Structure 1
Amino acid sequence: MIIGIDLGTTNSLVSAWTDEGIKLIKNSLGEYLTPSVVSIESNGETFVGQIAKERLITHPETTFQEFKRNMGSDVTYKAFGRTYTATDLSAIVLRELKQDAERELGQEVTEAVISVPAYFSDSQRAATRNAGLIAGLKVNRLVNEPSAAALYYHVSHINEDEKYIVFDFGGGTLDVTLVDAFENIIEIQGISGDNHLGGADFNEAIAIDICSKNDLIWPALTDYQRALIYHHAEIIKIRLSTESELEYKFRFSRNKEDLFAKEIVYRIDLQHLVDISADIYEKIKCVMIRLFNDAGMTKEDIDDVAGIILVGGSSKMPAVKLFLRSMYGGKLLVDENPDEIVCKGVGVAAGIQQRSGNVKDLILTDICPFTLGVGIVNDVMSPIIHKNEILPCSRTETYQTIKDMQDEIIFSVYQGEYHTASRNKLLDKISLKVEPLPAGEATVDVTFSYDINGIFEIEFDSKYMDESVVKDIAQSSGLSEADLAARRNRLAELKSKSKENRNKLSLLMEKADRLFAESNMEQRIILGNAMEEYQRALRNANADAIEASKQNLENIIEIIERSIYGLPDPEI
């Protein structure tokens, strides 16, 4: 069985293509969305998803989110003396999704199709593939997120030949893609994006605005205080999806033991959100303009586009929709659940890989989202594969020596759009020995080959070399078999809490503990008593007492949440 995984910045989902069609798979809490959050305990126990998200406030030093933004980088995360990369944390999330799929499908899962942002670099794609391998999954294909969305839309919504734009605005990335769908072919014609722009930026804009209105300095806050404000900023952003203005209250303290917290009252409306997010909208505009420019589209071409498909949770924001309508007059195509579209698309892609049912003959083409080339004299970028070339592709350029009796050529391989080579991302340096001859006489043919999975191979061939050289750039960014085995063993040492009932009990207690940290003294007494009563019932294993104390704790949590967050409800 091949599963499809949307490994998101904020949330992740898993799907499969079955005899009945696409099937979204629920996690152990009965939800489709699993927050991409990992929390690690001192004994090696890991929490993934909603439980981990609740621990962002109570255990901020050892709970991690939005690590997808650092895939393929040197950024590390530390917990109890051990160091983790974004790849390691992503592998923990993938393991959880794999276990969810195996539980619901009733069979072992060993293969997956995983979505990645269209603008992910070669090293970021390699890191994603490595995360899958560490989690015990053979990654059959990496599919660009907007391509996956286009695939699902073509299968389920679009019955005729159309050209449209996929606007994929997630928690941490923005991808905008031009798609031409006809017959059984979905052709990607242009890609633009920003790997560091998403809904999380709105959270941060609101958090900083809360600080500015309450004489707080965001960089000077403790981990606990930042996590607390960020948590409430996200709630405010979500509420502004259904409310035009609101007054929001919460308690702010030095740490979770502080009983003398002050109450923060924050007022915001949609216009103010637009005002404090002006730089975000400017970045969105730049991404859209770059797409049209790269595709060589005139105003008439843009007018011919059937519409914009909105994908990703952040695209649900009314302010984002208003901005798109003001910039582009075409219709917005909104699915009932934009959070799920990419996952449904990778599920369809998994069905194509399995040669299943009525999707087996679908063809999804993709393009290279960036230019690949080498640096030449005067620090100039010499492109070999150009941005937006249809994949797979292979291109050859010939280079020559520039000095008399030169016996070595160093090829610096770059990815990027700058004319100045060193401003682009350096992927590798390859040194080749050549026959020493007068300048310009020794030449080398350099062939770049790039496929739909981001496998990048370079071949150097010359009669002035002893033998041809082939270099797999993707593999150089990957892990050796020994490294993979070591990382898998390390992951196995981290114990996952995956049993359904245990997860639900843990979620309730983590939510109560997070709320306890925000409560005043009177609320803490009531909430603490309810928590102790619930834990006592669990220890005694009395089913009736467990259900009664659980219901009591849930009611108290709801009342305190409404009181703290400024919602109308009787006070305690």
Structure 2
Amino acid sequence: MYYGIDLGTTNSVISYGIEIASKDFFELQTITNQHGDVYTPSVIFFDEGEEPLVGKFALESYKSEPFKTVRWVKRKMGIDYNYKFGDREYNPQVMSAFILNELKSYAEKGNIEDSIDKVVITVPADFDNSAKQATIDAARIAGFSEVHLIPEPNAAILNYIYKTVERNEINEYFSIQEKYMLVFDLGGGTFDLSLSAISVNEEGQLLTRVITSSGNKYLGGINFDNDLLIYVLKKAMKLYPKDIEPINELLIAAEEGSEDEDILNALAQLLRDCEACKEYLSQNKKRTISFFSHQRKPYKVEINKSEFERLLKPYLTKIEECVEDVLKQAMDSIVNFGGWDRLEGVLLVGGSTHIPAIRDYCKETFETELIIGQEVYTSVSRGAAIYASILYGKNAFIKEYNTVVPHDFYIRNNKNYYSIFEKGTTTKQKNLNYEIPFALDTKAPIEIIQKYYNETGDEIDVLLQTINYSHPFMFTGDTLEMNFELNEDLIMSVTAREDCIDDYVEVLIENKSRLTEDEINFEKSKIFDGDE
């Protein structure tokens, strides 16, 4: 059995694939939790003296005790951040491990095997190196021994291919000539756009390759909910001028944060109402939001569909930037790719693609078939299970799956940058002779960085690794031979040795994102032993 997990910002799902030799077929199933649901809310609730609660009941507790509840931990992955509850601190890896362990536990209860040790977990295509490594560390803390990753839109494509095989429609959809499919993945917390090519070889086996991708780690349904909450409060101030002061207190807390429990409770309840309003407006023209302030005064604010859609406009602009980025890269990479008219279809993935304004944007922009209803909430975990079978050479219908470099990687020396890997290329291994530059200190560490962006969209350098070296006879102009590699999880690693003198050189490579074995065991004890 091959397991795949969609570790989502708002919800998480686990699926498995199994070979049925007698039928020469590969079957996929999504596992339901103890409540009979295919997805589990990615929420953790902490109550003093009790084991952390994960899932549906944790989400219900959020409305009344948000200060004891953790949501949207996926946005913190790869960041130096700690959640504090009482005298305990938990990093994002441990919080994600609580969610993963919950999925692992209920999957094992209905599993014919004793335990689930191997898993493929999906991550946003635009996740940085540190966030990917943090996801692997979280899975190891949760008890998985072998972990691999796959970008979420790539997993969705694999599931789409599987559906054509299941319906025995391969030849109707694919041929020796490559067909281009675009995945538009807008979920609760992240956005990905990925272009893939799919073809069939002479033996009838399917080949798929990623051409390019773009996205935004900080764009998703959470943003829409928060903006709607702020809009509701501002509208309430106009409707209830006598209560401007208490409503404004809520507004300030929503924009800047607060430690007042009454204010947090009021905002949490209002946020849940805004989440429900967003979903309701996907099918209806208006909805009235009723809420209480922290002073227990009731208010009612009516929100219509056009008001909500106006709130989406800044995000559609950001989406358009990603669309233009992918189109430019596609036109640079594919001969005669003149525009979106070359697409066979656009596969919509993620809960936020249910929003009519999002679908309208896709129809107007891509002017091609929108593929809707391909298991919007489960296709990603199912694709991860398919990828698990590919990794272990047990998938009969997909012969090849190839990816590209997701971001630009460099060596940084002061303000100078030396390219290692370029975004959108297929080369994932490189040897480089690095000449030690002239400096007062020739032993200054070499920094390996990834070009990325912060929450406001500004370009930043993410420091991945530092290479420290020392030898009494190393001088300016000597060289270090370095080997860089992007593995199958698209995580970069580096090895180095001195190549100029016939002697041992001490080279210490410090990985800024990966937890050590001791750190993993220590964090694991917080889940399984309760010991710090």
TM range (shorter): 0.7 to 0.9
Aligned match for 2:219, one of 197, 217, 222: 197
Q: 1:134 maps to what in 2?
A: 141
* Distance of 1:443 and 1:341 partners within structure 2: 48
Answer yes or no: is the 8 Å Cα contact 1:435–1:464 preserved in 2: no
For structure 2, the 5+ residue unaligned runs are 21-25, 165-169, 201-205, 238-246, 255-262, 454-458
Answer yes or no: is the 8 Å Cα contact 1:165–1:309 preserved in 2: yes
Tell me the CA shift for residue 487 of structure 1. Answer: 1.5
Name which of structure 1's ranges 333-342 and 146-155 shifts more when overlaid on structure 2. Answer: 333-342
Say whether residues 1:240 and 2:273 are aligned partners: no
1:460-539 counterparts in 2 under 5 A?
Answer: 460-465=496-501, 466-467=503-504, 476-493=512-529
Q: 2:292 maps to what in 1?
A: 252
Tell me the CA shift for residue 302 of structure 1. Answer: 2.9
CA 1:350–1:423: 2 relative to 1, 3 Å = closer
CA 1:325–1:380: 2 relative to 1, 3 Å = farther
* Distance of 1:64 and 1:202 partners within structure 2: 19
The superposition leaves residues 52-98 of structure 1 with CA deviations (integer Å, 9 ceiling, x where unpaired) of 11111111111111010000112222223321121111100101100
Q: 1:35 maps to what in 2?
A: 41
* Distance of 2:474 and 2:384 partners within structure 1: 53
SS of 1:390's partner is: coil
In the alignment, residue 294 of structure 1 is paired with which amino acid? Q
* Distance of 2:378 and 2:118 partners within structure 1: 20
* Distance of 2:439 and 2:396 partners within structure 1: 62
* Distance of 2:471 and 2:367 partners within structure 1: 58
* Distance of 2:460 and 2:521 partners within structure 1: 36
Q: 2:365 maps to what in 1?
A: 327
Q: 2:381 maps to what in 1?
A: 343
Answer yes or no: is the 8 Å Cα contact 2:274–2:289 preserved in 1: no
Tell me the CA shift for residue 296 of structure 1. Answer: 3.5
Tell me the CA shift for residue 390 of structure 1. Answer: 2.3
Q: 1:309 maps to what in 2?
A: 347
Identity, in percent, stands at 26
* Distance of 1:307 and 1:472 partners within structure 2: 45
Say whether residues 1:170 and 2:187 are aligned partners: yes
Answer yes or no: is the 8 Å Cα contact 2:140–2:147 preserved in 1: no
The superposition leaves residues 268-308 of structure 1 with CA deviations (integer Å, 9 ceiling, x where unpaired) of 21x22221222111111111111122334577143212221
Say whether residues 1:122 and 2:125 are aligned partners: no
Q: 1:74 maps to what in 2?
A: 80
* Distance of 2:360 and 2:342 partners within structure 1: 21
CA 1:293–1:469: 2 relative to 1, 3 Å = farther
Tell me the CA shift for residue 442 of structure 1. Answer: 2.4
Answer yes or no: is the 8 Å Cα contact 1:435–1:442 preserved in 2: no
Answer yes or no: is the 8 Å Cα contact 1:38–1:65 preserved in 2: yes
* Distance of 1:488 and 1:404 partners within structure 2: 43
Q: 1:14 maps to what in 2?
A: 14
SS of 2:110's partner is: helix
Q: 2:101 maps to what in 1?
A: 95
CA 1:316–1:404: 2 relative to 1, 3 Å = closer
1:369-384 counterparts in 2 under 5 A?
Answer: 369-376=406-413, 379-384=415-420
Name which of structure 1's ranges 484-493 and 307-316 shifts more when overlaid on structure 2. Answer: 484-493
- TM, length-normalised to structure 2: 0.84
Say whether residues 1:212 and 2:234 are aligned partners: yes
Say whether residues 1:278 and 2:313 are aligned partners: yes
* Distance of 2:474 and 2:393 partners within structure 1: 54
* Distance of 2:514 and 2:524 partners within structure 1: 14
CA 1:42–1:272: 2 relative to 1, 3 Å = same
Q: 1:231 maps to what in 2?
A: 272
Q: 1:294 maps to what in 2?
A: 329
Q: 2:210 maps to what in 1?
A: 188
Tell me the CA shift for residue 43 of structure 1. Answer: 1.1
Work out the number of aligned pairs and report it. 482
* Distance of 2:192 and 2:507 partners within structure 1: 32
Q: 1:362 maps to what in 2?
A: 399
In the alignment, residue 490 of structure 2 is paired with which amino acid? G
* Distance of 2:493 and 2:521 partners within structure 1: 25
Q: 1:545 maps to what in 2?
A: none
Q: 2:449 maps to what in 1?
A: 414
In the alignment, residue 10 of structure 1 is paired with which amino acid? T
* Distance of 2:78 and 2:473 partners within structure 1: 38
Say whether residues 1:429 and 2:436 are aligned partners: no
* Distance of 1:275 and 1:149 partners within structure 2: 29
Tell me the CA shift for residue 24 of structure 1. Answer: 0.3
The superposition leaves residues 152-183 of structure 1 with CA deviations (integer Å, 9 ceiling, x where unpaired) of 11121364041111111111011111101112
The superposition leaves residues 196-243 of structure 1 with CA deviations (integer Å, 9 ceiling, x where unpaired) of 101111111111110110123423352112211110110011111211
* Distance of 1:89 and 1:324 partners within structure 2: 34
Aligned match for 1:113, one of 104, 120, 123: 120
Q: 1:263 maps to what in 2?
A: 299
In the alignment, residue 24 of structure 1 is paired with which amino acid? T
Answer yes or no: is the 8 Å Cα contact 2:471–2:506 preserved in 1: no
Answer yes or no: is the 8 Å Cα contact 2:468–2:509 preserved in 1: no
Say whether residues 1:448 and 2:488 are aligned partners: no
* Distance of 1:472 and 1:162 partners within structure 2: 43
* Distance of 1:15 and 1:339 partners within structure 2: 11
CA 1:208–1:425: 2 relative to 1, 3 Å = same
CA 1:402–1:96: 2 relative to 1, 3 Å = closer
- TM, length-normalised to structure 1: 0.79
Tell me the CA shift for residue 385 of structure 1. Answer: 1.0
* Distance of 1:336 and 1:232 partners within structure 2: 28
In the alignment, residue 346 of structure 2 is paired with which amino acid? I
In the alignment, residue 414 of structure 1 is paired with which amino acid? I
Computed over aligned residues only, the root mean square deviation of the Cα atoms, in angstroms, reads 2.6
Answer yes or no: is the 8 Å Cα contact 1:458–1:471 preserved in 2: no
Q: 2:61 maps to what in 1?
A: 55
Tell me the CA shift for residue 249 of structure 1. Answer: 3.4
CA 1:423–1:490: 2 relative to 1, 3 Å = closer
* Distance of 1:388 and 1:357 partners within structure 2: 26
Answer yes or no: is the 8 Å Cα contact 1:44–1:494 preserved in 2: no
